A and B are shown apart, each in its own frame.
Chain A
């Protein structure tokens, strides 16, 4: 059928480049594999050990959930805020958009890590700013696991550019006539925002929410480069993917790492499913999806 003709590139690629490695990784999760000698079958041992005998595993899960729950809403809220501000035809707004997008372009390079550690250093700019705003105590960001995790969360919020872009597009899409009608009816700025803009924007918010949540669960590079692969201090920045990586490449336990990956896959699938199911409560579609 014609449908298959069109999606055939996806199917081919999926089969060749994804399914086979996926199947292999599922198989590996039931083995002990050190990359050098052939995998040894161990059944559910990896999964058992992970869930019952591994402090760090639960630690990394906790850290990751904290990261997602704190980071994603913050990031989306910030992106929305900026998108709203930049949603106008002022001269030079294009430049502002580029400037605000800049942090996310710098991405996960080593330069970012150096820079970020510097900014949050004990004598860094952030502490200087806090001092300027009246706080009299220096925060030793990297001495405490939670505050170290916050530097990661703030890094992700700082790189809100892509979400902002999509919000901008969504905002442009709202027909001005709704806003006009409302203001004729006497609605003020805030009412207009919360009663008109937000609901009409909700499909976009949903899209961003799902995408950002999935990618937040899989965050690796910032944690890796900022903690120099250690996940410190005291495993405060040991995100799930980082721990997975350590198990796979530092400890040569590919089987265990594969098991971790599959658990994460199931977890993300569950969360996404829940997001989709609860979306009907708050997401408002103008027209039936067709």
Chain B
């Protein structure tokens, strides 16, 4: 009887060992153009249109580089990051990964991403028509952890019909926060609709507010919050509370109920102004007949509060075994005209000025507006925000929670300011070790 148990246990061990021993081997035959065959895994997040056209670009690339076979891996935003984390832990990241500024620090500083500087220096990634400032967006210190694919700028998108109905005009070169507040109240009074969408999410727009006052959100070294005067926090949130109270802004649960772009306030004609990144203009414009336009946010000129932000980047993991080929693909994506004719700025305004000019002529009226807006904003733009420090995910959640508590009247803006500071500093300090 014990014998049988023994046999089974040994079988089990043998089985497991056998499985461990198995591994697939990679073939290395020469491709049609004489170069060694290579398989690249390319991963991105997005919606259906993006999946469709990016697959076409991949086909294009494979045709022009017959020795390269590309395996596409794509998912929506949520699922993408859920997949990436385990892949990273197991050293199984794809060769080209689409990266976002929110995660760049996490993946970059923890040694998952390769420094792309050598590939820029040796010309694999051609940066002739690309502005240094833009490339810097993907840098942490001296390391270029991701190459920006496109550029976004903060904007206030307005429904011009509602503005007209309310009898207000915006001079976006010079309007102030007070002007903005009054505008929102006017719109509510005259039209019954919201004047502002509530400036979601707070972790994007509160830092912008700080910039207009000459302050910053995070300290350069990421050890704590930069702004020291809590009055800034209080003023910002007092204004939000006032707008919600006067029904000039939606309540947090109303905002949470928005299921997607077609449900958004600006699309349904329920708000005169919405705060978003410039690239979202295209989708909004497509979904509504009302005339929309992009305006510079308030008080951006004095302190150069605006900045060009990489909309997304391509990174190469340190674990990749074909980094040079991966870099070549990135170059194709950024600089190839045919590829960009398919992209049409969907990933942000192209970083290459040459490509941007070519693509612009192929765009619809609405899409052109984005390009023109970004061009205009570039003139005013200041230094970009450095990539977020480690622990920023927690800080962002904390800010959002605090904002909700304030708007739901559970705590006052003053209490929120103190609480936020204390907990945010604790989080950032904890993540320094």
Contact = CB atoms under 8 A, between A and B. Distances in A.
Contacts of B81: 249
Contacts of B106: 34, 36, 252
A140 B253 contact: yes
B161 interface: no
A142 B253 contact: yes
A54 B4 CA distance: 51
A228 B78 CA distance: 9
Interface in B165-193: none
A251 B251 CA distance: 27
A183 interface: no
A267 B4 CA distance: 37
Interface in B54-102: 78, 81-82, 85-86, 88-89
Interface stretch (B152-160, B329-337, B362-370, B404-412): B404-412
Contacts of A4: 4-5, 8
Most chain B C-beta atoms within 10 Å of own C-beta, residue among A16, A143, A229, A252? A252
Interface stretch (B40-48, B292-300, B393-401): B393-401
B5 A250 contact: no
Interface in A221-267: 228-230, 232-235, 246, 249-252
Contact of B257 (A11, A34, A142): A142
A267 B105 CA distance: 36
Given A16-B16, A143-B251, A34 B8 contact: no
Nearest to B16: A16
Nearest to B107: A36
B257 A122 contact: yes
B15 interface: yes
Given A36-B88, A36-B112, A234-B405, A251 B393 contact: yes
Contacts of A250: 393, 397
Contacts of B394: 251
Contact of B252 (A1, A117, A233, A251): A233
B4 A233 contact: no
A180 to B, nearest CB: 51
Interface residues of B, number: 36
A12 interface: yes
B4 A5 contact: yes
A8 interface: yes
Instruction: Determine chain A's interface SS by DSSP, over half rule.
Output: loop
Interface string A1-26: 11011001001100110000000000
Interface string B197-217: 000000000000000000000
Contacts of B257: 117, 121-122, 142
Contacts of A16: 16
B1 to A, nearest CB: 4
Indicate the member of B257, B391, B401, B410 with the most A CB atoms within 10 Å: B257
A140 B400 CA distance: 20
Contact of B256 (A2, A12, A228, A235): A228
B82 A249 contact: yes
Contacts of A35: 85-86, 88-89
A142 B256 contact: yes
A117 B259 CA distance: 9
Contacts of B251: 143
A37 interface: yes
Nearest to B410: A234
Interface string A101-127: 000000000000010011001100000
B8 to A, nearest CB: 5
Interface in B105-134: 106-107, 110-112
B283 interface: no
Contacts of A143: 251-253, 408
Contacts of B12: 8, 11-12, 15
B256 A233 contact: yes
Contacts of A251: 391, 393-394, 397
B341 to A, nearest CB: 33
Contacts of B82: 249
A238 to B, nearest CB: 10
B33 interface: no
Contacts of A1: 1, 4-5
B254 interface: yes
A11 to B, nearest CB: 8
A97 B4 CA distance: 47
B317 to A, nearest CB: 11
B253 A233 contact: yes
A37 to B, nearest CB: 6
B4 A252 contact: no
A228 B112 CA distance: 28
Interface string B1-39: 100110010001001100000000000000000000000
A49 B276 CA distance: 37
Contacts of B404: 232-234
A233 B408 contact: yes
B256 A232 contact: yes
Contacts of B256: 142, 228, 230, 232-233
Contacts of B112: 36
Contacts of A140: 253
Contacts of A8: 8, 12
A117 B257 CA distance: 7
A153 B305 CA distance: 46
Interface in A67-119: 114, 117-118
Nearest to B392: A251
B401 A37 contact: no
A122 to B, nearest CB: 7
A5 B8 contact: yes
* Most chain B CB within a 10 A radius of its CB, from A2, A121, A234: A234
A34 B394 CA distance: 13
Contacts of A37: 110-111
Nearest to A141: B253
A35 B82 CA distance: 12
Closest 8 CB pairs of A and B: A36-B110, A143-B253, A142-B253, A1-B1, A35-B89, A12-B12, A8-B8, A4-B5
Given A36-B89, A142-B253, A249-B82, 10 more contacts: A1-B4, A4-B5, A11-B8, A143-B408, A228-B256, A229-B78, A232-B256, A233-B408, A250-B393, A252-B393
